[in-house]
Amino acid sequence: MSPTDPSSVCPAVLISLLSCTTNQARLTVSPSSSQLFEGQSVSLSCEEDDSSAGWTLRRNTSTETKAECDKWGKPAGSSCNTSGVLSWDSGVYWCESREGPISNMVNLTVTGGSVILQSPVLPVMEGDDVTLLCKTKTTPSTAAFYKDGSLIRKQPTGHMTIQHVSRSDEGLYKCDIRGHGESPSSWITVTGRSTTTSSFFTSTTPPPASAHPDDLVLRVFFYLVVFTPYFISTLLVVSLYQHRAKGNDELISKVTAPPTQAGQRSAKDFDDIVAVTTEHHF
C-alpha cells in the first residue's frame, strides 16, 4: 500500500480535532441581552453535548481573572445564577471543561445608567431578522438607533427590526432616548450558515478595537491555548511520516545496491579458473 500524503492527512486531522473539541458546549444568557441594568438578575448556562467533560462557568472582569461561578454567583449544575448585578460584573463570560476546551465567549455590560440596548448575545445568522430594543426603567419612549456612530433611524416604539441581516449589518450599535441618555455600545456579529467548525471561529471573533484591552488579551490567550496543541500534533504527524519514508528509502537502497569490489573480483577470479581449466583440458 502506498504511503498517504501528509499534506492531505494533517489538515483533515486538525479539522477533525477542532470540530470534536471546540463545540461541546455553548454559553447562553437569560435574559438574552448583552446589556443589563444594575440590580437585574441573570442566569448563564452551559448547553452541553458531553456532560462528562465537567463544564464550569468562568469570567474575566476588571477585578477578576478566570473566576469560577462560586465566587460571583450561585452554581446550579452547569448553570450559574446571579442576582443584583453591579457595574463591576461587566466582563467576558465563558464555559470551560476540565480538559481545557472552551465555549463561545459572551461580553456582558452592566450599567448604572437609565438606558440599555437589548441586542442578541450570540452571533446572528445571515438572513435572520434581528430586533433591537432600547429600554429604560420606565415606560418605552422614542429612541434613536446608531451603528458605528452614525444614526440609522428613530423609532417611536423604542425598538427597531433589521430584516434579513447580512455581513454589512455587523457593527457597533447603541441607542439614545432624549431626556434619559444613551446606552452603552454593543457589537453585533453576523455569521454565515456554515459548518460547526467555522461557527466556532466566528463565535470567538475578537470585538472591535473599541473593546476593553483586557478582553482582547484574553481572546488572544485562548487562541493560543486552543490551537497550539493541534499545531504541535500536526508537526509530529508530518515528522513521523518523513522519518518512516526516509527509513524505507534507505532499506530499498541497501537491497538494490550494486555488487562490491570484492564481489566483482570473485567473479573475475572464477572466470580465470574456468579459462585455465579449459586450456589444461585441451
What is the pLDDT, as a whole number, of residue 140? 75
In order, the DSSP letters of 140-203 are: ---EEEEETTEEEEEETTSEEEE-S--GGG-EEEEEEETTTEEPPPEEE-EE-S--HHHHHHHH
**Residues near 59 by Cβ (< 8 Å), separated by ≥ 6?**
66, 67, 72, 91, 92, 93, 94
Residue pair 134/115 in contact (Cβ under 8 Å)? The answer is: yes
DSSP 123: P
Asked if 13-112+212-256 and 117-197 have one fold, the answer is yes
Closest CA to 124 of 35, 223, 203: 203
- Listed by start position, the domains of the chain span 13-112+212-256, 117-197
Q: Provide the phi-psi class of 176: left if phi over 0, else alpha when psi is between -120 and 50, else beta.
A: beta
Q: If one looks up domain 117-197 in CATH, what number appears?
A: 2.60.40.10
Judged by DSSP in three states, 133 sits in strand
**Sole residue written with cell 473599541:** 210
What are the φ and ψ backbone dihedral angles of 29, each rounded to 5 degrees? Answer: -125, 135
Strands 42-48 and 25-30: antiparallel
Pairing, β 171-177 against β 67-68: unpaired
> CA 215 to CA 186: how far, in whole Å?
14
- Distance, in Å, from the CA atom of 34 to the CA atom of 186, rounded to the nearest integer, reads 7
Is the pTM higher than 0.75? The answer reads no
**Class of CATH domain 13-112+212-256:** mainly beta
pLDDT score, position 6: 40
Q: Residue 226: which of 12, 4, 19 has the closest Cα? A: 19
Q: In Å, how far from its chain's centre is CA 202?
A: 7
Digit-by-digit pLDDT tens for the chain (282 residues) are 434 344 433 433 333 333 344 446 789 999 999 999 999 999 999 887 655 567 889 999 999 999 999 999 999 888 999 989 999 999 999 998 877 778 889 999 999 999 999 999 989 999 999 999 999 988 778 999 999 999 999 999 899 999 999 999 999 999 999 999 999 999 999 998 764 433 333 333 334 444 444 555 555 555 565 556 656 767 776 677 666 656 555 554 554 455 444 444 444 454 554 444 444 444
Provide, for the chain, the percentages of residues in helix, strand and coil under a 3-state DSSP scheme, each rounded to the nearest 5: 35, 30, 35
